[in-house]
Chain A
Amino acid sequence: MLITKENTLVIVPALNEQDSVVDVLNELREFGFHVLVVSDGSTDDTATQSRAAGATVLELPINLGVGGALRAGFQHAVSRGYEAIVQVDADGQHPANEIINLITAANESGAHMVVGSRFISHDTTMSVGTSRRLVMRVLAWSASRATHIVITDATSGFRLIRMPLLGEFAQSFAVNYLGDTYEALVSAGRGGYKIQEIPAGLRPRQMGESSASIAQSVRFTLKGIGIAMLHIHFPISSLQDVTKSRI
């Protein structure tokens, strides 16, 4: 099925992002996207401000982590009959105009997951520190090895996911750090789903800090690589099985 603006839900997981979420929502509204904000146990006015900005808000009573918020969003998308979702951060890093590029790429290639990569873009305004870049390189290398697909940005949270992969992720999706990005890539790739990367010019975050320190990043990287090597990533039905069950 062709992906359009109308059958795509933009999911914005947000934890205490009252200072930036309204700008992000206003920008998304300018482009006419259907938007769902998943307030991940926020204790500030994220949910109220998002509602006031015209977004549908799914309010998790406790904090589940990005992966948990995303799975709740995926479930909402599947139950409302959306064909695809686009993950967008609430901190303003992902420009709304780039979403069209993800949709166009998915329609042209038929990919089940299209990832906006920060490292094949020429016009990105985002700078990444040396140590963080090294961690990202290691993860990209590991994801490429695990999936047999060339991945340049395994930790990009700017991505489009379409059915039937979306349906699988609505049932099983990791909550841990890197689970929503790196591990999701590994699970999808090993499940035989088609993954594509396109350049995406991401911006520096408007508010707040990165959710993990360098030490944490290294720890999570080692954990992520271990998960891939030991094949203990979250399980999903393979594309072959899903296709068979539909026939």
Chain B
Amino acid sequence: MKTFFYGIVLFCVATMAQATGPRVTSALLTPAVNEIFALDFPAVLSSELADGGIAAALITAAFKAEQVESTLTVLPLKTMLAYYLNEENALGIAGYDLDLSAAELKNLIIVPVVSLKESYFYYRPKYETLTWTGNLADFKNFTIGVNKGESLTAYQKAGIKIEQDRLDARIKALIAGKIDVLRESDLTMKMALAKNFSDQQSAIVRLEPSTEDAIISVVFNKKNPKGAALAKQFQSGLTKLIASGQYNDIIKAHIGDLAMESYFVPVHR
């Protein structure tokens, strides 16, 4: 009986010990599995969107198609992606216009995920008509608004002034006449205008032809022990997605009634 009593006491003490302790400790942190660090790209890959956006959904689904668990961490800065890639040998990074050096590219495997049409836009009250032939020289002495962190060399060579800012600020600058044109993906622009500038949608005009496509890729790091193998699995998963039609379904689920071919370009692999 006594033994039974001590047994009960011991059980209670042990249970209590398990039930107490700091509420928020490192032990409770969920380690990120197969973490890919992605650069924020408004409308398709962004923490501002409920599910991270189209690109985030495609990346997650491609891994899932191969039964690979993954974590996509969207970061606001290219410098942080570079840090994780170079200083911590991250498994991979994802995004558009990632400014990778030739030395870095030797150790990377690039898998394009989605390609968006990108264009220049102008404000009709400022210019009744504006034309461009696809050559940046047409914009000589103009001020162009581009995304923060975008490569500027081509603009500088063409004698173009640059304003770098977040998209909403660039649209405001366009309307205020502080910049002449801005460059953005057609889909991002469409969504931003509908969300915050609905009364200006008809006044902001897209220039034909489109400029270079914005290709969002996942870039795997061969220096990471899992990098090469996961790149292969990811590519395979993406192929399965496309073949099954799930790839298009994910895009359509995000863009609703918009015509897919107006905003996306097939990814060449």
The reply to whether chain A is a binding partner of chain B is: no
Contact residues of B with A, CB < 8 Å? none
Contact residues of A with B, CB < 8 Å? none
